[in-house]
Chain A
């Protein structure tokens, strides 16, 4: 049974700092991994999708990496801004439904 864990549950950083969010999964037989952003009271916005054949994917200040063998993915946010404050969720399909981590709630202080 696939399980997804995100550490830390919450993170507070000053504006401008580079940061890393972690996601781990128990079954490495995945064919992709998706990172989402969720603002309070809102739905999920897809940030990045990494296929199993890829090692990383980039979008603007965001970079997501995937290491299937170790069951880990990281989301790197460069030069954080207050507008980045939100909850970040990772999810993997198992087999076709998405299994989510609990999320990391990020606060970027001006």
Chain B
């Protein structure tokens, strides 16, 4: 069974530029999560989808971050414009439904200079 796929693995951008991350969850998983992990901290939820609907985006900085999961399968997370403090690892995860065992991708390491 294929795992959660993310791309790119690494990205370096200048502040005020835009960037997009892509995630393809495990087939059949209705729930998709995007987490932000700052160095030395545990992951923090940015947004949770159930199929193509948003369940929780309370911690998503909506003035600069956006995410979509249009067909209820893969998802994109965008940052525009990026700030230095956005430097982090962005993790995508999926589960059969919310609260069940979650599986994570390899993450995208973003560096904003």
Contacts and interface: CB of A to CB of B under 8 A. Distances in A.
A43 B106 contact: yes
Q: How large is the interface on A (under 10, 10 to 19, 20 to 34, 35 or more residues)?
A: 20 to 34
A46 B33 contact: no
Nearest to A45: B104
B24 to A, nearest CB: 14
A57 B63 CA distance: 43
B42 A96 contact: no
Nearest to B105: A43
A2 B17 CA distance: 35
Interface residues of B, number: 28
A75 B44 CA distance: 22
B99 A95 contact: yes
Contacts of B43: 44, 89, 98, 100
Given A43-B106, A49-B101, 17 more contacts: A4-B42, A32-B101, A41-B89, A42-B107, A43-B4, A43-B91, A46-B102, A46-B103, A93-B98, A97-B45, A97-B48, A97-B98, A98-B43, A98-B102, A100-B42, A101-B42, A102-B41
28 contacts: A32-B99, A32-B101, A34-B101, A41-B89, A41-B107, A41-B109, A42-B106, A43-B6, A43-B104, A43-B105, A43-B107, A44-B43, A45-B104, A46-B102, A89-B42, A91-B102, A93-B99, A96-B48, A96-B98, A96-B99, A97-B45, A97-B48, A98-B45, A98-B93, A100-B42, A100-B44, A102-B40, A102-B41
Interface of B: 4, 6, 31, 33, 40-45, 48, 55-56, 89, 91, 93, 97-107, 109
